[in-house]
A and B are shown apart, each in its own frame.
Chain A
Amino acid sequence: MNLVLNNVNVGHKHPLTGPLTMSFGAGGMHVVLGANGAGKTTLLRTVLGVQAPLAGHITLDERSGFLDASDPRAWGKHVAFVPSMPPKHVGLTVAEVLSLSGPWEQALSHHPQLEPWLNQRLSTLSDGQAQQVMVARAMLQSKDWLMLDEPTAFLDVRGQRHLWGMLTTHLNRGGSVMMATHDLRGVHRWMQEASADVLEVSSIHVLSSSGLSPLATDASLDAMEEAQG
């Protein structure tokens, strides 16, 4: 299902950008770049339904009709979130965290690397390990859209590689991804290695006060850096 923004203004009281009208293709990797303060997180929170848009509608076009972000219960079945920083001070074990969103056995079948941590508390894992658990949990919640807010910000190179790998798994299963990030290198490498089918529906946008401006998915690192400003 495509994610559709229709004349959407995001922000707190004052719109951060002009009205956004855009369709993000199902099955693709959609990267949102932008300088700090451009409103990437606000846009993601709005798309997640945590924050209401100042104007406009955000919908998923489903065969049976439209889903609207203002209906959290239905929205949560198709849109799941991975925050930038894995949560701290959590008494739950990895298995318990996964169980909040579905059977943990199912997560293991896609991500066997989680197995040794199942009975450990989330707080005792490294950031990289915990972030993998959070992505696996989000994939249990939604088979469609994953929204990630700078998911690699606190990860080392190995953690970043694991994370991109898990996102590839999600896309191969027919899911879609939207990600706000500063990890240009990671984006660049991922886009170069992605299959043609996925690339066709993927996108890179730069968010600024004038709106979302597209970049080619085969843009060079330099071009991305320049566009991000």
Chain B
Amino acid sequence: MKTRLVFLLMLLALCLHVALGEVDIAWGALLGALLTGGEVNELHATIVKEVRVPRATTAMVSGTLLGWLGLLMQTWFRNPLAGPGVLGITSGGSLGVALAVLLGLALPAWMAAAVGCFAVLLLIGVGARRFVSPVTTLVFGLMISYAVSAVVTVLQSSATAEALQTYVFWGMGTFGKASLLQAISCMTLQLLLGMWMMRRAKWLDMWTLGEDLAQTMGVPKARLHLEILLITGLVLGVVTSVCGPLAFLGLATPHVYRFFHPKRGHLDAIQGIGMWGGLLALLADGVVRWTDSMAMHWPLNAVLAILGAPVVLAVLWKRTHDWS
């Protein structure tokens, strides 16, 4: 599938996402009023500006960011099943929210998640020089996840039902809580991460050839490692604090892209995966909003898993030995 087509589909999904909803926006009147400076329907303007646009852009941009992080992790660990979650950053966010909500601290969930994510990031930063190999980092992330779920379980056992519900809801993930400012922060990050990845595309290509070989070809391993850890941590911390711990997007998007384009270096993959990530996130959120309108309220993470798990399985089934 042509990348241009995916881009157009992504834009179409974005427009539909903003245009459709439970409230019928009188688009003709609203746009006309904005252009001519006439009387604006306040309710419609507010819905568009503070609900639909932040939600749609956050979905699209988060999808792109997570897709990129997935690609980065799969390349760095040379493992098709690596995703942004492997560093333990998302678990840190869960711990932050669990502490805040279950202990009843007066802290908004997004801030608690951010604190948790960046605490883990700090831990990684301090230990980075000791994480000589990708495998060490992988095990570190795994252990963080175990420790966090243990602490959360302990906290849960003595929490009120209401606090427990808040925590569980946070864990379901949503694009619907993003403010305009948060959406703009995510877009800024997208620009930064995109530029950094394009700059590093050649190093990442070399890295796929092997650790020793890449180093003899001029990849400074320690520096690249540090950059990957810090940038992934930063981006994932922000996305997790805005949207909750999102599953599957980061893991599945590179596979969807590779399904259509098995033969691509990183420079192409960055563009393609960015668009696929945005498109898939918008589609998933479309399903969430559709179930909302039917009063079924499927959580975002459930939709992502329902859509994502078969995709990953199908891809692995078809291409057992062949990935990048």
Contacts and interface: CB of A to CB of B under 8 A. Distances in A.
B212 interface: yes
Contacts, number: 72
A91 B265 contact: yes
B78 A89 contact: yes
A179 interface: no
Given A83-B210, A89-B324, A100 B217 contact: yes
B212 A92 contact: no
A72 B220 contact: yes
A79 B263 contact: no
A91 B212 contact: no
A89 B269 CA distance: 15
Interface string A61-82: 0000000000011001001110
Interface in B135-155: none
A124 B262 CA distance: 11
A72 B218 contact: yes
Interface residues of A, number: 27
Given A91-B258, A91-B269, A96-B265, A83 B212 contact: yes
Interface of B is mostly: loop
Given A89-B208, A91-B265, A100-B205, A72 B78 contact: no
Interface stretch (A1-9, A42-50, A52-60, A212-220): A42-50
A121 B262 contact: yes
A152 B218 CA distance: 25
A88 B210 CA distance: 9
A91 B216 contact: no
B213 interface: yes
B199 interface: no
A93 B205 CA distance: 11
14 contacts: A48-B215, A72-B216, A72-B218, A76-B216, A83-B212, A87-B213, A89-B208, A89-B323, A91-B262, A92-B324, A96-B265, A100-B209, A121-B262, A123-B324
